[in-house]
Amino acid sequence: EVTVTSLKALANFPIGVAVPESLLTDTAHQDVVIQHFSQLTSENDMKMDAMHPSETTFNFAKADALLSFAEANNLTVHGHVLVWHNQIPDWMRNFSGDTNAWVAMMENHVTTIATKYAGRLETWDVVNEAFNEDGSYRGSAAGDDSVWYTNIGESFIPKAFTAARAADPDVDLYYNDYNLIWNSDKLDGVIQMVNDMQADGVPIDGIGFQSHITVNSPDISTIKAQMQKVVDIRPKIKLKITELDVRMNNEGDAALTTFTAARAEVQKQYYFDIVEAYLDIVPEDQRGGITVWGTNDGGSWLQYFPVPTVEWPLLFNDDFTPKPSLQGFADALEAA
């Protein structure tokens, strides 16, 4: 039995959820979001393609609507994302110009959007997924896909952060990536970048661990070691779990067709362990919060990526009833 009345009431840091545009017309979904979460991330509507459909046109309508909903319901907003190699409009992918023209184009995107929402967001993912698994920059090896690195070089990252800070002096600025919760080579590359930015006086307030993971993998000792590396950065920055979900299919196994009570208990324990690890390792002043990447299992991106599978990765069933995983998350917050 799940007895959690409000997840967010158990924490003094943001408890977030990524939401689709359909939230705005789905009152059952809204009820659960308002009851349990204190922060929203737009799953797709604040990305480069959504917000900047042509070189001279910005589309603020969807982001505006989400922000209005959030503000009306006492939720803060985590902005996702200013600069990413994926989900960019065709005009950007096909942009022609020298390095200076690419810098001006990128800075115009960052400045326009960060200025538009200045003072209304808690945090921004300024740059997303700019590193390879070996800790090198995405774009630095043949075949890598990154228009930003390819056309500007690694300085696109500090330039994006500098432009974001100039546009919104109060928002916390994050670098966000996947696999940082277990891959130490990749995290070491990111930390080297943070050290360099700090030495150069470039603003950066936090690192986001996306955390799309599989039940019981990575193990908790690995997760804690990765968290500790971020906590130890000086000057201090924050650590935010930005996109947590726990898929139930282990790679290589035959796809599961049922989510048994026994599996639900294993997932509940793993959610408990992850949240407990965060509370154990990350001091209060460095907690950027924990966000799950979707509300109900049926709404998860994992339903169709990379191939359609059923993964039961989140805290609520398809019909928005709570799962044991919600209890696991809550129990860890309560035990702290």
Residues designated catalytic: 129, 243
Per-residue binding string, ligand G3I, 148-167, x by CB under 6 A, is --------------------
Min dist CB 329 to ligand G3I, Å, is 20
Taking CB under 6 A as the rule, does residue 87 contact ligand G3I? Answer: yes
CA 19/CA 289 separation, integer angstroms: 16
DSSP state of 100: H
Q: Does 297 bind ligand G3I (CB under 6 A)?
A: no
Place of tokens 């979001």: 33
Nearer to ligand G3I, 62 or 116 (CB): 62
The answer to the question of residue 243 lying near ligand G3I (CB under 6 A) is yes
Alpha helices in 153-305, H assignment, sequence order:
156-167, 184-199, 220-231, 261-281
Cβ(95)–Cβ(105) below 8 Å: yes
Instruction: Candidates 43, 49, 107, 273: give the one binding ligand G3I (CB under 6 A).
Output: 43
SS3 319: coil
CB of 251 to ligand G3I, least distance (A): 16
Query: What is the size of the binding site for ligand G3I (CB under 6 A)?
Result: 9
CA 151 to the chain's CA centroid = 25
Is there a contact between 86 and 69 (Cβ–Cβ < 8 Å)? Answer: no
- Distance of alpha carbon 327 from alpha carbon 276, whole angstroms: 13
Q: What is the distance between the alpha carbons of residues 54 and 59, in angstroms, rounded to a whole number?
A: 9
Using rule CB under 6 A, residue 44 touches ligand G3I: yes
Q: Quick check: 296 binds ligand G3I (CB under 6 A)?
A: no
Instruction: Please report, as residue ranges, which positions from 119 to 148 form the binding site for ligand G3I (by CB under 6 A).
Output: 128
CB of 336 to ligand G3I, least distance (A): 27
Per CB under 6 A, residues contacting ligand G3I are 43-44, 86-87, 128, 178, 210, 243, 301
